[in-house]
Amino acid sequence: MPSLTTQAIVLRHADYREHDRMLTLLSPSMGRLEALCRGCKRPQSPLLSASEWFAMGEYVFYSGKGHLTVTACNLTETFFPLRTDYERLKYATYLLSIAEAAAQPGDRAVELFTLLARSLGRLAYGKQDERAVAAAFLLHFSAVSGYRPRLHHCVHCGKKLEDAEICLFDLENGGLTCPSCLENRLHTRPVRPEQVLWMRDVLRQGIDKTALPDHDAPGPLLAEYVENRMEKPIRRDGLWR
């Protein structure tokens, strides 16, 4: 019987027949996976918790006839506190959507998997503002995806920017724009020096170590930047209000 085992996080599930679910999972070694989880909706099913959103563990699949079926799971984390805090749940669900849109079947996604797992842990168990945690996820996601924003020099002319010159971020070119290079305002968004300092510091040492205030995290800007680069709009109703 062909089978495979991998760590995975459940990104989404859809009911299938009376007692089954189709799962979308993120694996560090196999990217995005689609798998059938038979009987998981039965009350006594050992796979019930493993078929919920945010479930993380070591999944065992049977591979046959072109599709995967979950046969077992050693569950290591459910991030249960997310289900008791609606605000944090909204941001956590948004992170799942970003990961699902970015991950490709068969492609390794070690950095994305690690980033998602750590960010979900911060949202579930940490005390940091959920908007800042989500913004930090987007910032590091852009870096591991190959479009780390340029935050020290103008993306057009390469001039090093002083704080007083920081006012616009170019979504298309991925970084700050100096006052002399503003011919293309269509894809620029306002950004404050404090927000740029936050992004620089979080990229350098991580959100757990930065001493800068959470309210300087430019969540809406980073969300628009990431979605623009992915060319996939992600629903974010009620976020960053």
Angle at 20 between CA 11 and CA 45, to 5 degrees: 95
The confidence score (pLDDT) of residue 102 equals: 97
DSSP 31-68: EEEEEEETTTTSTT-TTTGGGSTT-EEEEEEEEETTEE
pTM of the full structure = 0.95
The confidence score (pLDDT) of residue 129 equals: 97
* Residue 209 to residue 207: CA distance in whole angstroms: 5
Per-residue pLDDT tens digits for 148-207 = 999 999 999 999 999 888 889 999 999 999 888 877 677 899 999 999 999 999 999 999
Q: Where are the domains of the chain?
A: 3-80, 128-230
* Residue 74 to residue 62: CA distance in whole angstroms: 15
Low-confidence ranges of the chain (pLDDT < 50): none
**HSE toward the beta carbon, residue 57, CA cutoff 13 A:** 20
* Residue 152 to residue 197: CA distance in whole angstroms: 10
* Residue 110 to residue 100: CA distance in whole angstroms: 14
Burial of 125 from C-beta contacts in 10 A (0-12 / 13-18 / 19+) = exposed
What is the CATH architecture of 128-230?
A: Up-down Bundle (1.20)
* Four-way CATH pick for 3-80: 3.50.50.60, 2.40.50.140, 3.10.28.10, 3.30.465.10: 2.40.50.140
Phi, psi of 162 (to 5 degrees): -85, 160
The confidence score (pLDDT) of residue 8 equals: 98
